[in-house]
Amino acid sequence: MGCTPSIHVNQTGLVICRESEDSNSHIASYSAAYHTRVVKSDGTTETSSGVAVTSLDKQSAFKELVPLTLKQGNESLNIEAQTQTSIRIEMKSTNNEVSLGPMKLKQKTMSILLVFAKEDAQSDGFWWAADKIGYKCYIAHNPETAMENYLDKHPDVVIIDHRNSKHFDAEALCRSLRATESSEHTVIVAVTKRYALDKEEPSFLPSITAGFNKRIVESPNISMCMNELLTLEYGEVQSRLKLSACKAVFSALDNVSDAVEISSEDLEVQYVNHAFERLTGYSSEEVLGKNSSEIVKNDRNRPDLNDTINSQLKKGKYWDGIYHTRRKSGEILPSHCHICPVLGQGGKISHVISIKNSTTDTSHILKESTEFNLVNGRLSRQSSGLHGVPRRKESIARIHSMTIEAPITKVINIINAAQESSPITVVQALDKVLEILRTSELYSPYFAQQNMKDNDPMTSDLVSGLVSNVKRSLTPSYLSDVNSNSSGKQGSDLQSRRPSHHSHLHIPSPVTSSLSQVPDHIQEILDKDYTWEFNVIELEKVTNKRPLLYLGLKTLTRFGICDFFQVEESVIANWLKLVEGRYHSTNTYHNSTHAADVMHASAYFLERERNKAVFDQMDEIACLIAAIVHDLDHPGRTNAFLVNEKNQLAILYNDQAVLENHHSALAFQLTWKDDSVNIFKNLETDDYKILRQNIIDMVLATEMKQHFQHLNKFINSINKGCLKMDETSSMSGNGSPDSTMMLNQLSAPENKTFIKRILIKCADVANPCRPLDVCKEWGKRIAEEYFLQTDEEKARGLPVVMPVFDRKSIRIPKSQLSFIDVFINEMFESFDDYCDIPELISHLQTNYQYWKERDEESSEKSEQENLPNGTTEDDT
């Protein structure tokens, strides 16, 4: 007599029976033929001899392979009978037809993924149970393989060994599976320990929270395993098949032209489709959970109409007729309406369905004549309306037919609807509005370049140079008579002077690593950092061009960065040293002093009361980090220059926000290279992702090309809300519910993003709002950096991006006035309306007046000397 065969299941799903040397030869031959099999995705079974056996011819195949009866002791097992039973179950399970109302669904053969670290009687039990019924079965021994198989095979059921956490965390694996898109259609089952009756069993609630649908108490009995699997197929798996079909039904409803509303027996709205939103003007979020009759209530319907409808519904009958619907705008529209009940348990009404025809018949208002015309080579159907103006409603290209609506689409739909009954003059005006709305950049202003050039060529060139990557001519028309020759040697020197994005400056190690080590003469200047009058230029001088380290360490400490990042102060200091070392001290403007200045302005703005109410600590830290790195490794040249010279960074970033992408990318690369400078190393993964996204978004916002888009979004989304908040606060106090609600709206993620973008943009170009002496110094520095770029462009034969910055013809006061007029005034006025910064506005007005007087003096002197564009030493 041989020993009972032992079963082994390897990772690929291959089932092997091992026998002892003295095992019965019949058993061995049976094992080789029957037990060694691989379940394939196509439902076939491959024997060890390589012969594929389908479920239809298994019975004849197995009859030939198993002609014997095994006897063990007094027990007798007829294998042929078991095989026939298995085949009958399998053939039945592959033809399941499921009904969902009138829908007929076909349930495919169920597939199972077993996740067991080690093979034991329980895993074998499920494997053989699946084999007998005819299910597809796969097995994995670790979370990685399980996830790989899950994403590849998409099993209906995943059975995870939850009896022991020694090998892997079953709940963590379940959460990982649930994080995938297709997991909503999967049943995940936990196999748990069997406890003695006198021992308290732990709660299964944490496992349910992790995503498990069911638990099975361990039992290797194959019959028990078969019953559990059959229960899953006809229960949970079948329910998920129906839910999947419901998803298809809802998708169909969202694509029909009629407005569909589903409500409870109490007329509480539970679902509306896209056509309902278009018809009524309400979004689904605004109507869900509200009483259906109250939403569209108006005095155009008969007083007893609702009673008539309810009477029909209670009888289980539908109601059909004209129903007037009140839109969100107050407009009342008649529509053909069909309302029917859905009967549930006990024959009682469970739901009420309302279907309104969204294409209203208005023939009683205006007779229409429909004709087909050939327009642009296409057959189009036009409907003539008032004054012979083509009606939009019947156009086959009408935008109402779109099933995926963006907010701008809804705006266009409203305008289209308004055109249908408007006079010809209004229709023509709205057509112009639609042309504007259909452009791709709604928030970017249109500059009338020709008019701007005729009236103010300097402003035109300044704007074009800062917001465009377009190549410019070597010499502008108004400077054509000025000699612009520069030596080739100078251009070559400039090119070699400008460091590549891999070079960096070394900061000597004796620099302070703690606030307690700051020298007194530096500390005296730092003590004024909380005021707007703080002079970063003075700090630059006393720190030997290392202001970012000292000011950064003090500012970041004030905002609790060490506690937030859970790192030592030395890590912050090391990081600041590293970052400051990658700013180019040879740049006259874009250097670490500018970074320190932007960080100081950002910190000052964060201390405003409204920002303190809107932002949390992560927002504050993100703003400060973004300010510190926003010009990291800046070469002292503009994006347009890099694009024109085909710089490797421009090629890398596809000419789009070249420097801004480089600044943010390099900041994270440097931070993660060395643990001693890695300020992010102790952050939770989710927190790091949010912080990183915020920093990148703010750095990218500093690109001047996107200036007007960000500003217009801020004005439309934030300023208008703040105006309402201020009015509410003045009338009912700061603690009123309306004021609190509006503050919560400002704190919404999207609105906080708009605010942070404008915050760093204002900090980046706050020079005209600084005290006059500081403003003048920054004006001189930026002009010199642009001079150097123009010199190099001419020396190398590159297009001149900003011809206005020619050191032989520049009028710095005029360039400052143009910059303030175009970019500064509106942005800072809007930011002042938001967070109240009157001291900045005061400095801005003073500085503007100063530059205006200097420009007038320069113009007068230029006229006296008969120079086209004269300048004086004071101007520079």
Q: How far is 429 from 349, CA to CA, in rounded Å?
A: 50
Tokens of 778: 């920054």
Q: How far is 360 from 434, CA to CA, in rounded Å?
A: 23
Tokens of 296: 């569209």
Burial bucket for residue 75 (CB in 10 Å: 0-12, 13-18, 19+):
exposed
Maximum distance among all Cα pairs of the chain, rounded to whole angstroms:
126
Question: Active-site residue numbers?
Answer: 590
What one-character-per-residue DSSP string does 784-849 give?
Answer: HHHHHHHHHHHHHT---S-TT--TTT--HHHHHHHHIIIIIHHHHHHHHHHH--HHHHHHHHHHHH
The answer to whether 382 touches 393, Cβ cutoff 8 Å, is no
The answer to whether 69 touches 77, Cβ cutoff 8 Å, is yes
Q: Which of 743, 754, 685 is nearest to 716 (CA)?
A: 754
Residue 863: half-sphere exposure toward Cβ, Cα within 13 Å:
5
Q: How far is 166 from 64, CA to CA, in rounded Å?
A: 45
Q: Which secondary structure element, helix H or strand E, spans residue 133, and what is its range?
A: helix 121-133
The answer to whether 851 touches 817, Cβ cutoff 8 Å, is yes
Residue carrying structure tokens 């208002």: 365
What one-character-per-residue DSSP string does 378-422 give?
Answer: EEEEEEE-GGGPEESTT-TT-GGG-SS--HHHHHHHHHHHHHTTS
Residue carrying structure tokens 């927002």: 619
Q: How far is 213 from 160, CA to CA, in rounded Å?
A: 11
Tokens of 605: 């703005």
Phi, psi values for residue 374, rounded to 5°: -95, 110
291 DSSP 8-state letter? B
Q: Which secondary structure element, helix H or strand E, spans residue 261, and what is its range?
A: strand 259-264
The answer to whether 851 touches 813, Cβ cutoff 8 Å, is yes
Residue carrying structure tokens 């994006």: 639
Q: Which of 791, 509, 844, 446 is nearest to 637 (CA)?
A: 791
Q: How far is 713 from 834, CA to CA, in rounded Å?
A: 13
Q: How far is 162 from 168, CA to CA, in rounded Å?
A: 9
Q: How far is 717 from 705, CA to CA, in rounded Å?
A: 20
Q: Which secondary structure element, helix H or strand E, spans residue 260, and what is its range?
A: strand 259-264
Residue 108 CA, chain-centre distance (Å), reads: 36
